Chain A
Amino acid sequence: MSKGIMYIDGQRVEFDGEKNVLAVIRKAGIEIPTFCYNSELSVYGACRMCVVENERGGIEASCSMQPRDGMKIRTNTMRLQKHRKMILELLLAAHCRDCTICEKNGKCKLQELALQYGIRRVRFEDTREKVELDKSSPAILRDPNKCILCGDCVRVCDEIMGMGIIDFAHRGSNLRVTPAFNRCISETDCISCGQCAAVCPTGAITIKGDIGRAWNAFHDAKKRVIVQIAPAVRVALGEEFHMKPGENVMGKLVTALKIMGAEQVYDTTFGADLTVMEEAKEFLKRKETGGKFPMFTSCCPAWVRYVEQRNPKYLSHISTCKSPMEMFGAVLKEHYKPLAEADGRETVVIAIMPCTAKKFEAARDEFKHNNVPDVDYVLTTQEIATMIKESGIVFQEMENTATDMPFGMGSGAGVIFGATGGVAEAVIRRCVNDKGTGALQEIEFCGVRGMQSTKEATVSLDGEEIKIAVVHGLRNAQDLLKKIDAGEAYYDLVEVMACPCGCVGGAGQPYTVRSRKAMRAEGLYAEDRVSQIKRSEENPMVIALYDGLLKKNRHALLHVEYGTAGKNYEKE
């Protein structure tokens, strides 16, 4: 790690371990423009927007420059301005410029920089052939006509998710980002994690929206709209309304949803509590009967999809528990059945999720019966923000409203599901017999919290040492599987979340950097700290449900066998 002093636009700036000049410039408070630079991915150096001029008039990309002691650079000379403007003009020339009706209008990096640099004309003709949109994925929409070839999606898919679904193909002016053999996304192993859409600076990859369908349901008098809100949404939604990451806006969101037309608003934390109950039970049963270990968590649909397609030998290792959203969806549909029969209003379950893979999960055959899905529509955090804005609600000024009963109550253990390590911690809380406060603290510090890519913890359960691993970022999970394959590691329980930092970093959330994702996680832990109910089994509504609705068809409602579409549900 190098240390020293540089001079940026005449200002003396110290550097200490920054990986490139670009990072030092940004540290000095200068917002140097980039398209292809993403601090969490490898350096690509293609967009040339971050160019700087050295003392001899040489121009170099600051993202691919090592800081050196005594280095003198300028970031905003006439020549640099001219270069940047030319790059923007050329990019715009080969770009679909329907900005006002683009999904990314107002959130597009190209639009933002074109505005910032005052690009007022495009002198070059667009000679590219129009390419068809790829609408095949349930989660993302690809519009290659808006691609600026920055490669962020290619690198996130490969480096962070370990999937490599899309890559560059052809060369020169024919260069394009595409799945292999120009296939559509649905013909690949894509897990719908949506991270490509999250990093895309333009509208080339966007999240497939369900806003129209959701509004239709809200405004249909023959429909009873029941909303469930995932834990991670409440600590990120505020960012869309100029609030701090981690600020809990659950109460405001409930108020807004009621105004928009939701009949009942519940907390998916309740579903998470059910998951904890079932997963802990399954874990202890596996221990008793010598079941398959490690047992993997099943909450993350992108992870489940990965195992199904690329590593099916571990399918039987995945917990048979449905995800909290699907458990809750099944319970809600069952609970409202008599009411729907009585007044003829169809129950529509809308789930507000930080996740794009949930759209894929909701559409899976396993979660449909009589062709009706348990969760009708999944809206991402960004989509609900758009709907709130559309409806004219001034979100910041909303009063807080509590979630409805009987399913509006969740434990602290359920809330922390939204952060990496949360599911593991919640299951440990349930399994450990010592229910004192001391035990809670011990669990907190056992090593499951934090943003390291792979965390390990050991807890003692009835005298037996239980080895736990928590991993986020699908590539890290794949590396862990390789270790398990090679016999280099053994675990009893492994929590996997495909997205970096867990659900708080889901692709449905407002786009942000790692440090802010950690702030969101902090927001969840803060809610856990103030909740009177720390453990899922202490949630009185969960207890009541087990004594009621779940008495008869617990397994059918809460468990799933992947790859057996529909069969499982009708069994009991």
Chain B
Amino acid sequence: MASSIDFSKAEEILSSYGKNATFLIAIMQQIQNEYKYLPAEVLEYVAAELGISVAKVYSVATFYENFSLEPKGKHVIRICDGTACHVRKSIPILEALRKELGLSEKKKTTDDMSFTLETVSCLGACGLAPVLTLDDVVHASMTPEKAVALINDVKQEEKADE
């Protein structure tokens, strides 16, 4: 596993910030953009290069919901569970999708790495509640049925492409 990771990108990102530990969050954001998640080996590399402890880096990485320490699926679904979406029944949508994809609160990514399902606290689109994003595209006024249909569309498209 460790040998398959390319540290040169991380090195580039670190150098662009002058290896200054005060930019840790920005550095990790870019690393997540590059690697799609924060691989443990890369975080250890970051800690060593910035001269801070791995535990500190892990502490920051786990504090923010936006950082992911696990590889994400090809498609990322984010269900808004902010107040507005919650009262307009976002949880049934979450449950329907979990059931459809075989996921749970602990298991966020499908085994075939095609879908990751997360909740977020607010997407800032309360007027369209309940909302979800599929690969950063906002889908408004969702229902459990509409959400499942959306997933199935994606699956169909992928099959067609093959």
Q: Which residues of A contact B (CB under 8 A)?
A: 158, 163-171, 178-181
With a cutoff of 8 Å between Cβ atoms, the chain B residues found around residue A168 in the complex are 59
Instruction: Pick the residue among B53, B62, B63 that contacts A158 (CB under 8 A).
Output: B53
Instruction: Pick the residue among A170, A171, A180 that contacts B55 (CB under 8 A).
Output: A180
Q: A164-B54, A168-B59 are in contact. List 4 more A-B contacts (CB 8 A).
A: A170-B63, A171-B63, A179-B55, A181-B54
Chain A proximity of B1: nearest CB distance (Å): 13
With a cutoff of 8 Å between Cβ atoms, the chain B residues found around residue A163 in the complex are 53
Q: List 8 A-B contacts (CB under 8 A).
A: A158-B56, A164-B53, A165-B53, A166-B55, A169-B62, A171-B62, A171-B63, A181-B69
Task: Name the interface residues of B58-94: CB closer than 8 Å to any CB of A.
Answer: 58-59, 62-63, 69
B57 within 8 A of A: yes
B113 within 8 A of A: no
Q: Please judge, given known A-B contacts A170-B63, A181-B40, whether A164 and B58 are in contact too, CB under 8 Å.
A: no
Q: Which residues of B contact A (CB under 8 A)?
A: 40, 43-44, 47, 52-59, 62-63, 69
Most buried by B among A158, A165, A169: A169
With a cutoff of 8 Å between Cβ atoms, the chain A residues found around residue B52 in the complex are 164
> For the complex, what is the distance from the CA of A283 to the CA of B54, rounded to whole Å?
37
Interface pair A170/B62, CB less than 8 Å apart: yes
Chain A proximity of B81: nearest CB distance (Å): 15
Interface pair A167/B56, CB less than 8 Å apart: yes
> For the complex, what is the distance from the CA of A45 to the CA of B5, rounded to whole Å?
40
CB-based nearest B residue for A174:
B62
Interface pair B63/A164, CB less than 8 Å apart: no
CB-based nearest A residue for B53:
A164
> For the complex, what is the distance from the CA of A91 to the CA of B55, rounded to whole Å?
25
Interface pair B62/A164, CB less than 8 Å apart: no
Chain A proximity of B31: nearest CB distance (Å): 16
With a cutoff of 8 Å between Cβ atoms, the chain B residues found around residue A166 in the complex are 55
> For the complex, what is the distance from the CA of A269 to the CA of B40, rounded to whole Å?
46
With a cutoff of 8 Å between Cβ atoms, the chain B residues found around residue A179 in the complex are 55
Interface of B is mostly: helix
With a cutoff of 8 Å between Cβ atoms, the chain A residues found around residue B53 in the complex are 158, 163-165, 167, 180
With a cutoff of 8 Å between Cβ atoms, the chain A residues found around residue B59 in the complex are 167-169
> For the complex, what is the distance from the CA of A164 to the CA of B60, rounded to whole Å?
14
Most buried by B among A163, A167, A170, A180: A180
Interface pair A169/B58, CB less than 8 Å apart: yes
With a cutoff of 8 Å between Cβ atoms, the chain A residues found around residue B54 in the complex are 164, 180-181
With a cutoff of 8 Å between Cβ atoms, the chain B residues found around residue A180 in the complex are 43-44, 47, 53-55, 57-58
Interface pair A167/B58, CB less than 8 Å apart: yes
Instruction: Pick the residue among A164, A171, A178, A181 that contacts B56 (CB under 8 A).
Output: A164
> For the complex, what is the distance from the CA of A171 to the CA of B58, rounded to whole Å?
12
> For the complex, what is the distance from the CA of A164 to the CA of B43, rounded to whole Å?
15
Chain A proximity of B38: nearest CB distance (Å): 11
> For the complex, what is the distance from the CA of A165 to the CA of B59, rounded to whole Å?
11
Q: Please judge, given known A-B contacts A163-B53, A164-B52, A165-B53, whether A181 and B58 are in contact too, CB under 8 Å.
A: yes
With a cutoff of 8 Å between Cβ atoms, the chain A residues found around residue B56 in the complex are 158, 164, 167
Q: Nearest 10 pairs between A and B by C-beta?
A: A164-B53, A167-B55, A180-B58, A180-B54, A167-B59, A169-B62, A180-B55, A170-B62, A171-B63, A168-B59
> For the complex, what is the distance from the CA of A321 to the CA of B69, rounded to whole Å?
44
With a cutoff of 8 Å between Cβ atoms, the chain B residues found around residue A165 in the complex are 53, 55
Most buried by A among B44, B55, B56: B55
Chain B proximity of A185: nearest CB distance (Å): 11
Most buried by A among B43, B47, B53: B53
Chain A proximity of B59: nearest CB distance (Å): 4
Most buried by B among A158, A163, A168, A181: A181
Most buried by A among B44, B52, B54: B54
Chain A proximity of B74: nearest CB distance (Å): 25
> For the complex, what is the distance from the CA of A181 to the CA of B58, rounded to whole Å?
7
> For the complex, what is the distance from the CA of A169 to the CA of B52, rounded to whole Å?
15
> For the complex, what is the distance from the CA of A178 to the CA of B63, rounded to whole Å?
13
With a cutoff of 8 Å between Cβ atoms, the chain A residues found around residue B55 in the complex are 164-167, 169, 178-180
With a cutoff of 8 Å between Cβ atoms, the chain A residues found around residue B69 in the complex are 181
With a cutoff of 8 Å between Cβ atoms, the chain A residues found around residue B63 in the complex are 169-171
> For the complex, what is the distance from the CA of A180 to the CA of B42, rounded to whole Å?
13
With a cutoff of 8 Å between Cβ atoms, the chain B residues found around residue A169 in the complex are 55, 58-59, 62-63
> For the complex, what is the distance from the CA of A410 to the CA of B47, rounded to whole Å?
46
> For the complex, what is the distance from the CA of A178 to the CA of B69, rounded to whole Å?
16
CB-based nearest A residue for B65:
A171
CB-based nearest B residue for A172:
B63
> For the complex, what is the distance from the CA of A170 to the CA of B54, rounded to whole Å?
14
With a cutoff of 8 Å between Cβ atoms, the chain A residues found around residue B47 in the complex are 180
With a cutoff of 8 Å between Cβ atoms, the chain B residues found around residue A171 in the complex are 62-63
> For the complex, what is the distance from the CA of A36 to the CA of B55, rounded to whole Å?
20
With a cutoff of 8 Å between Cβ atoms, the chain B residues found around residue A164 in the complex are 52-56
Chain A proximity of B61: nearest CB distance (Å): 8
With a cutoff of 8 Å between Cβ atoms, the chain B residues found around residue A158 in the complex are 53, 56
> For the complex, what is the distance from the CA of A171 to the CA of B56, rounded to whole Å?
13
Chain A proximity of B72: nearest CB distance (Å): 18
CB-based nearest B residue for A163:
B53
> For the complex, what is the distance from the CA of A178 to the CA of B43, rounded to whole Å?
16
Chain B proximity of A257: nearest CB distance (Å): 40
Chain A proximity of B63: nearest CB distance (Å): 5
CB-based nearest A residue for B58:
A180
Chain A proximity of B149: nearest CB distance (Å): 34
> For the complex, what is the distance from the CA of A329 to the CA of B94, rounded to whole Å?
64
> For the complex, what is the distance from the CA of A170 to the CA of B65, rounded to whole Å?
9
